[in-house]
Structures are given as structure tokens and as C-alpha cells.
Chains A and B, each alone.
Chain A
Amino acid sequence: MKKLYEIVNEVLESNELDTQETFKDTDNLKNDLGMDSFNLAELTVMIEDEFDIDIFEGDLVFTIGDIKQKLNG
């Protein structure tokens, strides 16, 4: 999941939000990491480019753990 964390940090950095040294599965993308819907859209695009999966399609995704679950199928 190293690549996922890199992507999340890239989105955080490019949107002037605090990057994280470590991530917890419970980290909420909006409440804990400070992302808004534009940042989430950027995150979906970058993850889709890397993993070929649209994480927000279908199930609700709120946390880092939700994304990991989605990527693990």
C-alpha cells in the first residue's frame, strides 16, 4: 500500500494540506486529512491511473481503510 500512501500525500501536498508520515486505516479523508470534494476527485483520478479502479464507484468510501478494501477487491 506504499503507492497508495504516496498518492494520498501527493494530493495533500498539491492542495496545501498537511502530509502524513504514517496513515491509519481509520483516517477519514475529509475529517482527518482535510480533503474536500475537489481533492477527492483528484485522488480518484490518480488512484484510477495507478490501479485501474474507480474507488468511489458503487460503495461509499470514507477512510483510508475503505480505499484499501476497495483496492484489495
Chain B
Amino acid sequence: MDKIFLVDKNIITYNGLIHYINGQLDLFESYSEMELFFLDTIKSLTNGHIVKDWDDLIVVLKGENQNIKLFSSGTTGEPKIIYQSFKNMIRNVRVGNIDSVWSMFYHPNRMAGYQVLFQSLLNKNTLVNMFRYDFKDVQDRLQRYKVTHISATPTLYKMILGPTFESVKQITFGGEGSTKDLRDKVSKYFPNARVKNIYASTEGGSLLATNTDLFNIPMDKIDKIKIINNEIHLHKDIVGESHSIKLEGNWYNTGDVVEFSNPNQFKIVGRSSNILKIAGYNVNIEVIESKIQQLDGVKLCKVSSKENSVLGNILICELVAYDGHSLIDIKRSMKSKLEKYEIPTKITFVESIEISENGKIKR
């Protein structure tokens, strides 16, 4: 028996592995790698303390102020390692929903995974693992365990749509750009859920939240988050430590681009690296993906760019379609819903699109 955890009705350990938390957790049902990872995470966070029960675990977690090793999403290039303080990691965790059932869609050593882990741990919630499950199994598990809270990327939501999920009370979007129309489309499958849209980054943790498309910087964060040249900058105080983080003075440029709707509110439109010029127009790949994903027959798509001798750059689209929808139909609806310069020059039907461990389309 592992020394860190005592067996009680809430936390049961066996051979060093956590099998149940809160009586019904099957978080570690299939993946020993995940089991070990979570145990190691909690072990290192508790820093060798013996934890008696849930409340004790929470006290110990909050009392520790160590740095947690995180991996960036790795959607481009090699994943980066970043150290983030526990205090920063839990700053937006809401406490008080003891009956919630959370679901884990992310790799647990990524910022998004930790956010979900802490949100559920600090609330003594059941956490049901969805990471690395087939999407059909995910649908089943969401219903079987009466999951109430989901935090996922637009890509992941698109993959699990099918049945309606009555038990879900809150769906949170993050990690990738999304349009209101796409979120509205997804939320139809969660008829009892409120929709949250969050802005988070590996470098700064969970930063902003809204119930709409528009974000604003709350008063308590105005000295920590700034918009400079339409890009979000974070003060060094809230940025993790990493060799790969380059500060400009006291500020870190996230590369996340915003578009102001009024002097105080803005939309987050994507990453600066995903914005390019097509025939003289500024085009945001993530926004185009989001628009294409709203079209009938489109399950998932990935847009990328390629140099072209006529236009400078062109867009290429790989697309997973629902059965019964032809390329011609989808091209036709693109023409009616997208601007000419937003329509990919080349569209290919594919069986699947690779998704990163952070639930994003792999680029």
C-alpha cells in the first residue's frame, strides 16, 4: 500500500494506484500510464505528506507552492516544457460544486489537463477519463456516468456529437478559435448546458472567461494582461518559467490575436502564426476551419496553406465528411457561406484528421 493515501470511503488506493475517488471514479480503468501519471502528480504535489481524506488532500495541495512541470500543446514544432506555480494553476478554480461529474479530455500533463484535474480534485468531484478513448466510447461514458461538466476544444466537441447529452450542465470551449455559430451548433447536443468560452495558455494558465464571444480584461487582471498591437501580452508575474519563453521587457507575447468589437471587449480570433495573406486579404486559418465545420455534412476539417505561383498562398483543406455528403455539395455550400478568398483551392476527403494530445487539430 502506498504511504501517501489512506483508504477511506472517498479515496481508495491499491498497489499504489488510485482506483476510486468519491466512490465511483473509473479514471484509471484502462491506462496504466495514466494511472501512474496521476498518482505521481498527486504524490509530488502533496510533497510526501500523508493525506487522511479529501479535506486533508485539499489543505495539503493548497499549502504547497511548488512549480508544476507542463508541456505545451505541441501543435507546432517540438513541445515546450514550462514550469508553472500551483498558485497560478488554481487561481480560476471555482470551489463549491460537490456533486459535479467532470470529464477529462486532455492529456494530464498539459495545462488544460491540470486545470480539469484541479477543478475536480479541489471540489471532491468524480472525474471520468475520456482521454484516448474512441469517440463512440466517449459518447457512451458521458451518458453512463452522467457527466455534468465538459471542458474541451471545438475539435473534440465536433468528434463526440451524435446523441444528446441531457446530464451535462456546463460545456466549456477553449484551446482553439471558435465562432459563436459553431458553439451554438455544438450546444444543441447539450440541451441543459450553459456554454462557457475560456482563454487559457500553457504559459499563463486559465486567463479569461466569458459566456459570449466577447472577452474583457477584468479589473483585477489589468496589470497582468495587456493587448498590444492586437496581440495578448502577459505580465511576467503570471507567466511560467521556461527557456522557451522570451520576454519583451516585463511582458510575454502570446501570439494570440484579438479583434476589438468596442473599446473594452474583444474576440480572440486565433494565433498570429495562423493568419496569412491570400490574394491580398488577411485570412485566419482557424476562423475558416470554424466556418467550414458549421457546414452541413462536415464532421471535421483541417485547413493549411501552401505557396502558389498565382495567389502567393492558397488554402488546402482536408475534410472528414458525414456519409451521404459529396464533395460537390460541400463545395457548393462553401461558395454560399464563405468569402471567395476563404474557400480552399484544394479540398480532399479524408478518413480522419490527426488530433493532438491536447485535443487540437495537429498542424
Contact = CB atoms under 8 A, between A and B. Distances in A.
Contacts of A56: 309-310
B83 interface: no
Interface in A6-47: 14, 37-38, 40-42, 44-46
A12 B271 CA distance: 35
A57 B314 CA distance: 15
A41 B331 contact: no
B346 interface: yes
B331 A44 contact: no
A14 B347 CA distance: 12
Contacts, number: 32
B309 A44 contact: yes
A45 B346 contact: yes
B261 interface: no
Contact of B345 (A45, A54, A57): A45
B309 A42 contact: no
B279 interface: yes
A41, A44, A54, A57 — which one has the most chain B CB atoms within 10 A of its CB?
A41
Nearest to B308: A41
Interface of B: 279, 308-311, 314, 328, 331, 340-341, 343, 345-346
Interface in A55-70: 56-57
B311 A37 contact: yes
Nearest to A57: B309
Contacts of B331: 14
Contacts of A41: 308, 310-311, 314, 345
6 contacts: A37-B279, A38-B340, A41-B308, A41-B311, A44-B309, A45-B314
Given A45-B345, A56-B310, 5 more contacts: A38-B311, A41-B310, A44-B309, A45-B308, A57-B309
B341 A44 contact: no
Contact of A38 (B309, B328, B341): B341
Contacts of A42: 345-346
Nearest to B309: A56
A25 B357 CA distance: 52
Contacts of A44: 308-310
A38 B346 contact: no
- Interface pairs A-B: 8 shortest CB-CB: A56-B309, A41-B310, A41-B311, A57-B309, A40-B310, A45-B346, A42-B345, A41-B345
